[in-house]
Structure 1
């Protein structure tokens, strides 16, 4: 795995939602660096935001561990989604593509139906899709941005989980993607950081509610991870040196976060529920 290049990320910018091909350096999703160990054999997972970044790396890692996956992505991310499917298929597993905007209950119900139809059943739901857009102050955050941030980051956690609940059986797992921003918020990401704090709370509450059914609910809190979201939502100067302020002195690779999702989805984590697992390069998550 190339971690040295993560110490010197150059200034750059993309239009939202960003694409993997335009990133410098190219992120590592585990295409060649990750080796599966049969930890998820026979499992079926739905991953939102699965076209690129953490979602792609998680889909690839799950496939290499023996799982079939369905990924959800925005229609304008089709190219990245097809590359994710290609990588999953190279690992010998099935990848169902579902293009959808998850901000409404109808969309979440449709995605749930397509995922079940495509995979046959479901063992793992990963609520990973997210939106952020850096702004200098509260007065720069428009009503439209506020709605998009909360409707993308928080609403599907409730709506998609609810839609899939009849299909989740004992031993199933729901894993949410929160952030270091919930614990150490950046002033320029006020609305985004607020959604991540909400996700932490929802994770703990859902773990309490679904525990009696044998369904585990956890969250992964990434730190600064090199994904298309960064050059597409941050000013170029903020992207330069991205992640250098962590104790490890660099940004993380997407595959370094995917390993946390693998663990929480696996039977190795059978007694782990209601927790937030930090993958932050040394920044505290408490």
Structure 2
């Protein structure tokens, strides 16, 4: 997965990245813009980060459109994709990256409200966004094809006992959705793949109550360290690229050997 940005002179169409204001989403947006995509920077609440990222991308000649939308709300998702149609042109790629987790706890401490919050963003959101992408990219509806990458988690395989079993379960659902959707639209010009990051240095860990979690658990991986958002972005962009033209329904584990 090369970091070569030689595609940057090409117009690769529009890409929607959910949860793009920081972490893996922001790293993916930067790399995508360098490769030649016009990027829609979706955010739910952190407008400042999304606007700053848009300015950064535009300062080096890229195109970026910040759009506020809660991916769990169907009307807001529809409005976001309509804005992309108007402002950026034909959609060719979607990265379902937005995700949430809550304070570390065991299953016997998880409430229905917490479950609903986690599943709304981590499961309903990717379904709603993928629906809009398929309606635009599928040859069944007159589209020219495209690619979707879901950002799951190694937690889907490992379960996150004692910390985030609900989050892990939501990512397990996203894995299943990846397989099903990939098979559903494979003959319609759309490839659907998944990246499963491990312990990555992002702000998300603060939401779980342990901002320095990667420093604690990263050294225990076979590679002996946590990962960087840019390393995940490289995997995402490879799966979206023509270099992966015969890859669909695949999972790339970017978890340092876990």
| Separation in 2, partners of 1:66, 1:42 | 5
After TM superposition, list the pairs within 5 Å mapping 1:207-286 onto structure 2.
207-235=182-210, 238=213, 240-283=215-258
Shift of 1:80: 1.2
Are residue 171 (structure 1) and residue 145 (structure 2) matched? yes
Shift of 1:67: 1.3
Q: Which residue is equivalent to 1:55? A: 25
Runs of 4+ in structure 1 deviating by more than 6 angstroms, as ranges, are: none
Secondary structure of 1:123's aligned partner: strand
> Which stretches in structure 1 are left out of the alignment for 5+ residues?
1-33
Are residue 113 (structure 1) and residue 82 (structure 2) matched? yes
| Separation in 2, partners of 1:63, 1:109 | 23
Secondary structure of 1:154's aligned partner: helix
Q: Is the 8 A contact 2:93 2:146 kept in 1?
A: yes
Secondary structure of 2:65's aligned partner: strand
Q: Which residue is equivalent to 1:13? A: none
Q: Is the 8 A contact 2:17 2:39 kept in 1?
A: yes
| Separation in 2, partners of 1:237, 1:268 | 36
Shift of 1:35: 5.5
Q: Under a length normalisation based on structure 1, what TM-score does the superposition of the two structures give?
A: 0.83
Number of corresponding residues: 249
Greater RCO, 1 or 2 (C-alpha within 8 Å, sep 6+): 1
Residue by residue over 1:117-157, the C-alpha shift from the partner in whole angstroms, topping out at 9 and shown as x without a partner, is: 22111000110000011332123212221111000001011
Shift of 1:36: 1.7
Q: Is the 8 A contact 1:123 1:171 kept in 2?
A: yes
Are residue 155 (structure 1) and residue 124 (structure 2) matched? yes
Q: Which residue is equivalent to 1:72? A: 42
> Which stretches in structure 2 are left out of the alignment for 5+ residues?
138-142
| Separation in 2, partners of 1:40, 1:212 | 29
Secondary structure of 2:193's aligned partner: strand
Q: Which residue is equivalent to 2:156? A: 182
| Separation in 2, partners of 1:37, 1:207 | 28
Q: Is the 8 A contact 2:103 2:208 kept in 1?
A: yes
Cα 1:88–1:142 change in 2 (3 A) is same
Residue by residue over 1:71-93, the C-alpha shift from the partner in whole angstroms, topping out at 9 and shown as x without a partner, is: 11112x11111222122113311
CA-atom RMSD in angstroms: 1.7
| Separation in 1, partners of 2:81, 2:215 | 39
